[in-house]
């Protein structure tokens, strides 16, 4: 009886049986993923170029309307919360502090200079700039550029840098800045006219001068630094404090009629750095308190 032997090359695996009750799923290629990414990029470029573009405010030049990189500080003297520009920490402008850290900040309320080197920094505001209102002014909701609008533009000498500012002058106008006010001479005009800001823009640009509910601890018992005073000793105004908040109230004298006129006058008495140092150290003031002009804090 003869036997037949199968060689290795003659042996073949039997095919697997087809799955029962299931349909084979085709393998998804990478084409759909690539197409989705390309379409998303095209849409993003179209939106960025014609509709809107996102920006991050780097500096505090538009504060308090738009905040750049900053630190939020609670004044150790008066408890007022204020912001300190920290854009130098990003730009790398270093002075005597390591790594360009902002070392001190001046309170906008009592002008006390406090150390802020250990305070954390917060990133600037993020904004989305719409482009079509100016490109298509005839569309509903659109309009040509208006005075006091916040605009983003590119400086011709540095086209790679975007600037964000408030629009003050329109085409053909001549501008003049006088003591912080803007005067406009229209095209063909002869005289400059004060460009008054609408109330909503005034509110957006308001900055703190003095909050009487926040008294500096070392100045509370020193009448020479009291900013509000009655015009006469018997003027009927008295300083009151309730639950840690300060204010003024009328207290007419018995000998005077209740309807008597009484004035409360404000003087901008702010210690400078040398006076604050003398107050903190308990020394004699280098000069007497003197009312100064109200100006934007440094």
Task: Tell me the longest C-alpha to C-alpha distance in the chain.
Answer: 147
**What range does the domain containing 161 cover?**
143-198
Residues in the chain: 298
pLDDT at 29: 60
Whether 2 is in a domain gets the answer no
CA-based nearest residue to 271, from 117, 54, 133, 106? 106
Q: Hey, what are 55's tokens?
A: 């920006």
Q: Quote the pTM value.
A: 0.67
Whether 158 is in a domain gets the answer yes
Whether 109 is in a domain gets the answer no
Which residues of the chain, if any, have pLDDT below 70? 1-29, 39-51, 90-99, 232-236, 242-246, 251-260, 296-298
pLDDT at 93: 46
Whether 119 is in a domain gets the answer no
pLDDT at 296: 62
pLDDT at 136: 73
pLDDT at 72: 93
Whether 179 is in a domain gets the answer yes
Contacts of 147 by beta carbon, 8 Å cutoff, 6+ apart = 167, 168, 169, 170, 195
Whether 185 is in a domain gets the answer yes
pLDDT at 250: 72
Measuring CA to CA, how many Å separate 64 from each of 106, 125, 221? 16, 11, 32
DSSP of 121-147: PBPPPEEEEE-HHHHSTTSTT--S--T
Whether 187 is in a domain gets the answer yes
pLDDT at 244: 59
pLDDT at 255: 52
pLDDT at 135: 73
Whether 76 is in a domain gets the answer no
Q: Which residues sit opposite 56 in a β-bridge?
A: 126
pLDDT at 298: 46
Q: How many domains does the chain have?
A: 1
CA-based nearest residue to 205, from 196, 192, 215? 196
């Amino acid at each position: 009886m003869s036997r037949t032997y199968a060689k290795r090359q003659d042996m073949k695996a039997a095919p697997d049986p087809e799955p029962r009750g299931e349909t084979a799923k085709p393998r998804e290629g990478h084409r759909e993923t690539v197409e989705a990414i390309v379409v998303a990029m095209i849409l993003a470029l179209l939106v960025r170029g014609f509709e809107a573009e996102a920006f991050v405010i780097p500096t505090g030049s538009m504060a308090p309307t738009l905040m750049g990189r900053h630190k939020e500080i609670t004044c150790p003297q008066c408890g007022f919360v204020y912001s300190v520009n920290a854009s130098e920490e990003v730009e790398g402008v270093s002075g005597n502090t390591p790594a360009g850290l902002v070392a001190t900040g001046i309170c906008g309320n009592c002008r006390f200079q406090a150390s802020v080197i250990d305070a954390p920094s917060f990133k600037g505001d993020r904004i989305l700039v719409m482009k079509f209102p100016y490109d298509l002014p005839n569309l509903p909701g659109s309009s040509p550029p208006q005075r006091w609008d916040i605009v983003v533009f590119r400086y011709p000498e540095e086209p790679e840098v975007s600037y964000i500012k408030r629009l003050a002058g329109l085409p053909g106008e001549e501008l003049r800045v006088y003591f912080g006010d803007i005067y406009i001479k229209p095209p063909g005009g002869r005289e400059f006219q004060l460009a008054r800001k609408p109330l909503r823009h005034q509110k957006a640009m308001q900055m703190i001068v003095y909050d009487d509910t926040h008294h500096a601890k070392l100045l509370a018992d020193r009448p020479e630094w009291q900013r509000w005073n009655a015009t006469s000793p018997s003027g009927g105004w008295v300083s009151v404090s309730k639950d840690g908040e300060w204010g003024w109230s009328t207290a007419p004298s018995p000998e005077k009629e209740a309807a008597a006129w009484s004035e409360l006058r404000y003087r901008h008495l702010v210690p400078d750095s040398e006076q604050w140092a003398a107050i903190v150290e308990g020394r004699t003031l280098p000069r007497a308190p003197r009312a100064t002009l109200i100006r934007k804090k440094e």
